[in-house]
Chains A and B, each alone.
Chain A
Amino acid sequence: MGIAERVTSGDIRAVARLIRDIDDKVPGAREVLKDLYPSTGRAYVVGITGAPGVGKSTLVDQMLTHLRKAGKTVGVLAVDPTSPFSGGAILGDRVRMQRHSMDEGVFIRSMATRGYFGGLTQSTRSAIDVLDAMGKDYVIVETVGVGQDEIDIVQSAHTTIIILIPGMGDDIQALKAGILEVGDIFVINKADREGADRTVNDIRLMIEMDEKRYRNGWKPPILTAQAVFDIGTKEILDEIEKHRKYLTSSPVRQSRVEYEKARNDLAEMIKDKIVHEVLEDIIHSGEFEELLQLIVERKIDPYTACDTIVSTRLRSGSK
């Protein structure tokens, strides 16, 4: 049996190995992804993001319990940051989801962000496809919501949940123009803490000021939760279901969603491939370092350096 067939039949080892090969950019993995593509598009993808420690993994753990009770199978991708200094990472999201590790209907995979040359976004996106193709009803992607990469990932989700906690105060202000804009559902976790009402109000104000964006019929709900005690999980899942119905209720809207998703995915994929092939290539060949040296010595300007690299690389045709 080929790898693609093993994946679609739900073979855990094949799935695990394929995700690793995708992450390591093993050339064969791309071919398998091509074969798998016709089997994708069935899973419902939920993105969960928020600052470190707000309770993302704990909420995912509770959601798993509810979804499994409802007979749904779930794949989880838990993304943790790579250390910018050593390149290593500690992937600790599984700790909160331990009790599901023996459940055959749940597949949990940790992934590291691996630097900033576009690695994370593309491998996570491909890993979503793999879990989709293996037949999971839901794929939940959990990311640390601190950067552009994370926004990109949640944009390839059908429903994006932003988790906040009371007392973030000015952090919310700072986040306003970033990750908060992509939320379909807001959850104020640890809602027993002081200031929960204020946080709810802050978010409500933010959403209401942005009314134009929500005119098409989906105004993000703001829910409170205490994920540790499983308070609010059911309501969150209900809202996901409502959002799903909203997306699928009109054929026009659904095709626009699919179109936007495809547009985003393809653009990211092209960027990733170019970055990978041009940037990594010149880094390996030492050309990158040479140019940097020239720029630092002010013998060349970075604009010219960039134009030269890009035009010669792209004209000669990438492999």
Chain B
Amino acid sequence: MTMVQVCGFVLCLFIGLLGLTILYLIWTKQINLSELLSEANGDASMSRFQLLIFTFVIAISLVEIVASDMKFPDIPTGVLTLLGISASTYAVGKGISYSQPDIMMGTSGGTSDPSAAQAAADDAKAHADEAKAHAASAQQSADQVKPANL
């Protein structure tokens, strides 16, 4: 076995271990993909999903073609155009969303769901009452401590 072959096998081992580690970390959630398709407001993005699909399709196709012919093929202009359309859709969509951050984050006009608005108001009132009770309790404790210090 020549030195070149030994280097080749070492490289294969390294790349294989790297790939396995990445897949293991994704599977065990140490690499978190839960927000892979999410926008800043938490909703999933159609353009991200489209880009994900096309990236997988082209990558798998490329690996299969390289394996069958043992050389890197020319990328047809149609494929580049398709990826360009997909990436442009993502970029333009992102630009539109971030041009109006209040609307994107849903902070512009409140919610259109009256029950959700009522629930939020009730929640806020409960928090306010709780804070008031804490403040009263703290004031009472302070009043008790004050004469002792005097």
Bound pair (A, B): no
Taking Cβ atoms with an 8 Å cutoff, the residues of B that contact A are none
